[in-house]
Amino acid sequence: MRDLKEIVSILEKNYKKINLRRINSWMNKSGEHYKLLACIVKHIKPKIIIELGSGKEAFSSTVIANYCNGDQIIYSFDIIHNLAHLNKENLIYSTDDIVENIDKYQYILLNAEFIFIDTEHTGDQETQIMRSLFPLLRKNTLLMFDDIHLNQAMKNFWNGLDKHFYLDKQDITPLGHWSGTGVALKK
């Protein structure tokens, strides 16, 4: 099993080789988190991927699905945007409040290897998600948080993360979103 340092070093080594121009040229820019997501899917190879917060345009799940091979699958959730009509073999959208109803998805979460958390960015919501999500996860589940520097509440959430949950964390904003990207590995 790889530790977080090894994972980040694989990402640093391979990040520049990812080219998203064929999907969407602006996604390829540094300062966005899409190359990093593609790099995780391609080089860390998580089999079961979960995204909390699909977004209206489904940008991140589209990138992830494009990089998934036959063994990998992504489940993406959003409270508002119903994208179920875009479901594909390795990409499943569900419309639900993931804060209120996380227990319904225990059967997927128990086997998740990578979870991308990109919802409201209020800090409180992320804490609530982590409180209900974290006990369901197995050891070595990789987590990625978007917007960890977006506002003071998110900074507080990120700074306190390893005090409240048994995990290793690393800020990898230079590889991710200008607004702050962090990764964590459940111990």
DSSP symbols for 109-127: HTT-SEEEE-S---SHHHH
> What region, left, alpha or beta, does residue 43 occupy, with left being phi > 0 and alpha being psi -120 to 50 degrees?
alpha
In angstroms, give the least distance from the CB of 152 to ligand SAM: 18
In angstroms, give the least distance from the CB of 89 to ligand SAM: 21
Report residue 87 as tokens. Answer: 């479901």
Residue in the block written with tokens 């070595």: 140
Tell me which residues touch ligand SAM (CB under 6 A): 52-53, 55-56, 59-60, 77-81, 97-99, 118-120
Instruction: Give the CA count within 13 Å in the CB-facing half-sphere of 104.
Output: 9
> Which DSSP category does 138 fall into?
P
- Nearer to ligand SAM by Cβ, of 90 and 168: the residue is 90
In angstroms, give the least distance from the CB of 113 to ligand SAM: 18
Residue in the block written with tokens 């700074």: 159
- Nearer to ligand SAM by Cβ, of 9 and 82: the residue is 82
In angstroms, give the least distance from the CB of 59 to ligand SAM: 4
- Nearer to ligand SAM by Cβ, of 63 and 184: the residue is 63
Best CA proximity match to 34, nearest among 4, 59, 11: 59
* Torsion angle in degrees (nearest 10) through CA of 78, 125, 135, 77: 0
What whole-number distance in Å separates Cα of residue 167 and Cα of residue 92?
28
- Nearer to ligand SAM by Cβ, of 122 and 168: the residue is 122
- Nearer to ligand SAM by Cβ, of 55 and 168: the residue is 55
In angstroms, give the least distance from the CB of 187 to ligand SAM: 26
